[in-house]
A and B are shown apart, each in its own frame.
Chain A
């Protein structure tokens, strides 16, 4: 089945730094979403982005479907950005596959 790989697995940054999180997938997908799981476990939708580029404040995402990857950019990191970032894809069989996540720690 489709493989979803996220990198890096862990990232520690100082407040104010920028970061790029990557999601590679091994086959064509019908949908791709980025989520942030906060320390209390709540999953928050960041982007629904099967292709193209979107921006929302300090966050932006780009998916290049033909090359099977997506990038999540976080600029001017804040401590509240800490948590786990997941990418999830919907494959051609309508199965939802999650990556293992990137654990982000923003230090004050």
Chain B
């Protein structure tokens, strides 16, 4: 059974950093691209980042480019999202998901950016 379990969320002040993790199991992690998708409270879905199987290629929307970094450790079947210079508009539930399409999703982890 495919499982994606996020961790690392919490309350953080604007301008600070936070790193999310996603532990994957039930499939050969190194064979799949992986991604992060977020959902602000009561809002829709927004794609945040994608990483290739080896980690050599990464993709971001303009809203997070230069501030967020996606990475992976295939030996540990783990995905990460380093979030720097956080803003209030980054407040959201962050989902780890397997693209494309997003066939499996984690349960999500809440990130609140507030002073």
Is A bound to B? no
